[in-house]
Amino acid sequence: MKYKVTLLSYLLVGMGIFGTSCKKELEDKFQKPNALTDASIETLFTGTLQTWGLYQPVYGDEYHNLRNMNRLLGLGYYNGETDGKNTAPDGSITMYNDWSGGTLRNTLYNRVYVDSYKNIPVINLKLGNLSGEERDNYSVYVNCINITRAFMFQRVTDVYNSIPYTEAGGAYDGKFWPKYDTQKEIYYDMLAQLKTIAGKLHGYTLNQSQAHKNFPVYDILNDGSVAKWEKFCNSLRLRMAMRLSVVDPAKAQEVIGELLSTNAPMVTDAADLVGMATKEKSRIFEVYWYRSFNERVIDQVAPYFLVNDVFGYTNGPSTPANQVDPRLYVLFQPNKDGKYIGEKPWGPEQTAHIDALWPVGNPDRQKAKTWDYDDNTNPFFSMYNKMTFYNFDRKFPVFTPSETHLLLAEAALRFPGVAGGINPVQEYKTAIAQSIDWMYSVNNSNQYSVSSTPSIPLNVVPGSQYPKPAQAVIDAFLTTKSAYFTGLTKDGKIKEIFYQKFAHLNILGQYEIWAEARRLRKEYGNLLPNSTKMKWIERFMYPENEPSVNPEKFDAVKAQNDYFTPVWWTGR
């Protein structure tokens, strides 16, 4: 029985991972060996889309992301005056040696190979057993699930570099111990597959077959919109192409040229936003990412870099309105005194910043120096805005139009030969305008409170639900911002585009920010506002049991099994 269960783990997972956390699930399925293949394509499709950690984070994963990725990237630092963070040696604070390390190292890998991916080979297998009109009708499920496949594998290879890809799930073909494909091979294959899928989805219309009638019901990501899946597919192609801009600019140009020359539809308008809402409101603070936000509130202090440098709040309330990014008031909430004050990274600069804000003689100085205040109920610094992040009806953003426009802006700057028809200033301006509209929509539509069901934890700081400024005010800001961008050098523009991604994606897009920071590091060094006290990492190590379960194939990648070897697309 032990041999059969072990074999089954490869059959279901197609991978060299078989942790104790999934052992019971696999054994249960072994008692019902047809549990997966007996399910309908529709059920398998939805089952994949809703797996934890794929299209919206869950509690445990996001808890450790907030605790560690925020600090690695400079997205938020708590007061380091009392626990030695500000006086620690440079590079001495790591995100992989404490109790979070194992979770970060294992979770993303296992979420994909054990949870998200297991249905996909079965869906493709079941389609292969169909014929004629039935096969044609179900092909839309397979094309869309293979977009999801590319989405998940891009994230995994971005984090781990070489991974099982072509032989993942290959146990159905007798490939129980998959090889590790290189990141270049994976990117090239994903781009080729997505191009093919986009072609199949273009102009595709649903008919009156039962498979097509079911599609809007079972498509919990894009509500049965084939056009939206096509746009998602093409925006993923653009993202992947730009990821290769440093290491393989020829390939990047090839893909971008294909997208633009065919006028490929992408996620460019507000209605195109790809995201997933939390349906189980009763479990909001049990298993979903909102619980992580509640428990890791200390890691949600507004970074000075965003408040002052990116959003232009350089002189506080006296800063001219056309210089202040309106997102300041909805991405962050005011502190206890109604002010917008960001915190600097750990180190001497944070100590000096606190001393300057609360000088000798200020009655709050002692509390500020000893962190004798509650970040929830009496925050001395601005925090990420509860009315924005605790809108329980919001969709967790998977791909937003602002990201597409920022990618297009950089493509126009880097590759004018194929993207010369794109105006980078206009793309930059549109990205910010859409980001403003989206954040205000989420913030202003929030009808939840501390007494609603579900409820916002503890309290809401006055001024957190901030009225959207008049369009004339927003337009004046966009004009000022566009003029600033126009005056930058090419390199300055590329860096500014990164800063706008940092602001737009923020604590909901840590992995994409990390990837972009690593991509640009060869050309521009460190662009992140992170603390020198933090030890920088380039990737995650493979899960602990990977070398012992798939030892022969693992030999090919063991030399890169550390936190400091850059992944291929960095060009370093």
Residue 109 near residue 374, CB atoms below 8 Å: no
The pair of structure tokens assigned to 104 is 């970060």
Interval 472-480 mean pLDDT: 99
Residue written as token pair 């293949």: 37
Of 445, 480, 479, 494, nearest to 465 (Cα)? 445
The pLDDT value recorded for residue 29 is 40
Interval 94-102 mean pLDDT: 85
Q: What does the alpha-carbon distance between residue 163 and residue 15 come to, in Å, rounded to a whole number?
A: 10
Domain ranges for the chain, please list them. Answer: 274-399+423-508
pLDDT tops 70 at residue 539? yes
Beta-bridge partner residues of 93: 534
- Phi, psi of 206, rounded to the nearest 5 degrees: -80, 145
Q: What does the alpha-carbon distance between residue 351 and residue 167 come to, in Å, rounded to a whole number?
A: 52
Residue 3 near residue 534, CB atoms below 8 Å: no
Q: What does the alpha-carbon distance between residue 353 and residue 349 come to, in Å, rounded to a whole number?
A: 6
Per the document, the length of the chain is: 572
- Label residues 525-537 b or e (16+ Cβ within 10 Å = b): eebbbbbbbbbbb
Query: In 469-526, which residue ranges form alpha helices assigned H by DSSP?
Result: 471-486, 490-505, 510-524
Of 87, 88, 119, nearest to 14 (Cα)? 119
pLDDT tops 80 at residue 170? no
The pLDDT value recorded for residue 19 is 36
Give the side-chain half-sphere CA count within 13 A for 484: 19
DSSP letter assigned to residue 68? I
Beta strand spans in 300-401 (E):
332-333, 383-384, 395-399
- Phi, psi of 343, rounded to the nearest 5 degrees: -100, 140
Distances (CA, A) of 532 to 93, 101, 154: 9, 19, 29
Condensed to tens digits (0 to 9), the pLDDT of residues 238-279 reads 999 999 999 999 999 999 999 999 999 999 999 999 999 999
Residue written as token pair 């790809």: 274
- The least confident of 76-80, 350-354, 505-509, 547-551 is 547-551
Query: If pLDDT is split at 50, 70 and 90, which confidence band does 7 have?
Result: very low
Q: What does the alpha-carbon distance between residue 18 and residue 29 come to, in Å, rounded to a whole number?
A: 14
pTM for this entry = 0.93
Taking 3-state DSSP, the helix, strand and coil percentages for the chain, each rounded to the nearest 5, stand at 55, 5, 40
What sign has the CA pseudo-torsion 37, 42, 45, 50? negative
Q: What does the alpha-carbon distance between residue 543 and residue 550 come to, in Å, rounded to a whole number?
A: 12
The pLDDT value recorded for residue 100 is 83
Mean pLDDT of the chain: 93
Beta-bridge partner residues of 117: none
The pair of structure tokens assigned to 408 is 């297009």
The pLDDT value recorded for residue 102 is 81
The pLDDT value recorded for residue 30 is 33
Beta-bridge partner residues of 384: 332
The pair of structure tokens assigned to 432 is 């910010």
Interval 278-285 mean pLDDT: 94
Q: What does the alpha-carbon distance between residue 181 and residue 163 come to, in Å, rounded to a whole number?
A: 6
Residue 103, classed as helix, strand or coil, is helix
Distances (CA, A) of 405 to 19, 296, 380, 398, 400: 41, 32, 36, 15, 9
DSSP letter assigned to residue 566? P
